[in-house]
Amino acid sequence: MKFKTKGIDISSMAFKNVVLLHTNDLDKLGIKAHDRVLLEYNNRKIAAIVDVTRSFIEPGTIGLYKNVRDTLQVPDSTEIDVSLTEDPPSIRSIQNKMREKQPYTKKEIEAIIRDIYNRDLSAIEIAVFLLTQEYIPMTIEEIEYLTLTMAEIGERIEWGEEIVYAKHSIGGVPGNKVSLLIVPIIAATGLLIPKISTRAITSPSGTADTMEVLAPVEFKADEIKEMALKTRGVICWGGKLDLSPADSIISAVESMLELDPESQIIASILSKELAVGVNRMVLDLPQGYHTKVETLEDARKFSHKFIQIADRVGIELECGITYGSQPVGYNIGPALEAREALETLMGHGPNSLIEKSIKLAGILLELSGVERGRGSDLAEEVLRSGKALQKLREIIAIQGGNPNITPEEIIVGEFTYDYESPMEGYVKGISNSLIKRIARSAGAPTYKGAGIKLYVKEGHKVSKGSVLMKIYAESEENLSNAIKILETEQPIYIESMLLDRIGKS
């Protein structure tokens, strides 16, 4: 059937091939919303998902989202052929998984990931794929296939005879800027650690967001390789690299669902590290209330599964289960975290950040051959000596930042609010989820100067009216949004030593 084209300047996030049809045209084609149609123009063909409208376009017209228009290279008001087409076979594999609950074959997983990468599955279909992982746990073999397939699609960085080291975290804890300490500690010993990081999806700052306060983080793969071989370490963003590219599409759907299946966490992390060429790796598993693994038993089980998969795909991995029931350090948000990381490297940072960094760095050093039990001592020596600070300054310089920057020169939000204690007592707990929500409402990570500075941690004694935390924002509106949360929620729990008083009735 012939339709006239109309360009629509919209790009679909999780599915690039989308077209818009008037509802009156659905019966003519024998289709419904979210079915697939085949578009043909000048010997070019493309399958696309159908969105429906009653008013945006006229009957007989097909609206082409930007991706479709660019692929077909078709001008407006041009006739093209449109017909119903079949769903990709990978959809049937996902449906069969739901019904039969049998493991995917290697070929089925390869087809699913290939279709996700080619944007031939819709966001809804990717969501179903994730839900099957959540409620029908994958076998070890399935996770291995998933990891290898995700790594094989896209670009890979090769390092020749070099042994490549990595640190990664499963996330979930605000203020976790330890990579800005671990990378220079490891690189200062001569080991190669090219850290390819993510930007925040649901947190107030990802490693790339924090590093970007100090230096540019967007580079091509060959530029990253050249820089890393000179400095032995870099901290870059992987978003513009074609490393495990299907993962970014899947992550976008996970973010919408607030869902992160265990198998997908493993495949996501390991596939990206495989694509970067990593041989040896430490994995940070924060454990605690409101983290991805809330009990120590769950963290241990998860660690063993992670190690098992890593071994099967050729990465020597050790996990560090870390305390995750409250933020790491006292600062949350890109600029505030960059300040705290720099201060810590200069010798006056919080103990929690120092301890976590040297313990995880120590594990990596022991994977390199340092005597077991001596790794953290060596990591602390490198940190205390100033060698790690000097190495971070080298990394900042080679990435195009100011290597002489001081913490005081890092600009934070000018609009602030002090959150005070409503009573005298002791800090019983800090809500990671609320701290993240408040910091994001204040503008982090979009606005680098937004975030939170904590003044207390668990066990601290506080008096009524003492400041528990300060919120930073770059606009009055964002600050107001953050303050509104405090009207109904309590991110820091205070408990009096006297819990109750009971007298004679």
223-228-234 Cα angle (round to 5):
95
pLDDT above 70: percentage of residues in the chain:
98
Nearest CA among 194, 233, 190, 189 for reference residue 382: 189
Report d(CA 18, CA 279) in Å as an integer.
Answer: 40
Instruction: State both tokens at 243.
Output: 């490393």
Write the DSSP symbol of residue 154.
S
DSSP strands (E only) in 111-213: 165-169, 193-197
Question: What confidence score (pLDDT) does residue 499 get?
Answer: 66
pLDDT band at 118 (very low <50, low <70, confident <90, very high): confident
Question: What confidence score (pLDDT) does residue 119 get?
Answer: 83
Instruction: State both tokens at 369.
Output: 């051959």
Report d(CA 382, CA 403) in Å as an integer.
Answer: 19
Nearest CA among 128, 69, 139, 126 for reference residue 98: 128
Amino acid at 399: Q
Out of 2.40.50.1070, 1.10.260.40, 3.90.1170.30, 1.10.3720.10, select the CATH number for domain 415-495: 3.90.1170.30
Is the C-alpha dihedral spanning 51, 54, 55, 58 positive or negative? Answer: positive
Is residue 505 pLDDT above 80, yes or no? no
- Residue-wise pLDDT for 302-343, tens only, equals 999 999 999 999 999 999 999 999 999 999 999 999 999 999
CB contact set of 297 (below 8 Å; sequence gap of 6+): none
The mean pLDDT value of the chain amounts to 93
Are the C-beta atoms of 264 and 254 separated by less than 8 Å? yes
Is residue 13 pLDDT above 70, yes or no? no
- Residue-wise pLDDT for 158-216, tens only, equals 999 999 999 999 888 999 899 999 999 999 999 999 999 888 877 899 999 999 999 99
Spot the catalytic one: 87, 260, 284, 311: 260
Question: What confidence score (pLDDT) does residue 14 get?
Answer: 52
* Maximum C-alpha span of the chain: 92
Question: What confidence score (pLDDT) does residue 428 get?
Answer: 94
362-364-166 Cα angle (round to 5):
135
Report d(CA 265, CA 201) in Å as an integer.
Answer: 14
Write the DSSP symbol of residue 463.
-
Phi, psi of 397 (to 5 degrees): -65, -45
DSSP strands (E only) in 336-480: 415-420, 425-430, 451-454, 461-462, 467-473
What secondary structure does DSSP assign to 66-83, as a single string? HHHHHHHT--TT-EEEEE
Which residues in 68-84 are b (16+ Cβ under 10 Å) and which e? bbebbebeeeeebebee
For the whole prediction, is pTM greater than 0.75?
Answer: yes
Question: What confidence score (pLDDT) does residue 86 get?
Answer: 85
**Least reliable range by pLDDT among 45-54, 100-109, 398-407, 492-501:** 492-501
- Residue-wise pLDDT for 444-491, tens only, equals 999 999 999 999 999 999 999 999 999 999 999 999 999 999 999 999
Question: What confidence score (pLDDT) does residue 312 get?
Answer: 97
Amino acid at 423: M
Out of 3.10.20.440, 3.90.76.10, 1.10.1070.11, 2.40.40.20, select the CATH number for domain 2-84: 2.40.40.20
Question: What confidence score (pLDDT) does residue 406 get?
Answer: 97
Are the C-beta atoms of 121 and 112 separated by less than 8 Å? yes
Question: What confidence score (pLDDT) does residue 202 get?
Answer: 79
- Residue-wise pLDDT for 386-410, tens only, equals 999 999 999 999 999 999 999 999 9
Please say if 260 is a catalytic residue.
Answer: yes
Question: What confidence score (pLDDT) does residue 15 get?
Answer: 58
Instruction: State both tokens at 477.
Output: 């509106």
The mean pLDDT value for 84-95 works out to 91
DSSP-derived pairing of the beta strands 425-430 and 280-287: unpaired
Residue found under tokens 């098992």 = 308
pLDDT above 90: percentage of residues in the chain:
78
Residue found under tokens 């006297």 = 498
Residue found under tokens 């989202």 = 65
Report d(CA 109, CA 382) in Å as an integer.
Answer: 44
How far the first Cα of the chain sits from its last, in Å, is 85
CB contact set of 25 (below 8 Å; sequence gap of 6+): 3, 59, 60
Report d(CA 303, CA 144) in Å as an integer.
Answer: 15
Question: So what CATH class is 165-407?
Answer: alpha beta
Report d(CA 443, CA 430) in Å as an integer.
Answer: 20
Show the DSSP H helices in 401-497 as ranges. Answer: 432-441, 476-486
What three-state secondary structure class fits 53? strand
pLDDT band at 374 (very low <50, low <70, confident <90, very high): very high
Question: What confidence score (pLDDT) does residue 12 get?
Answer: 64
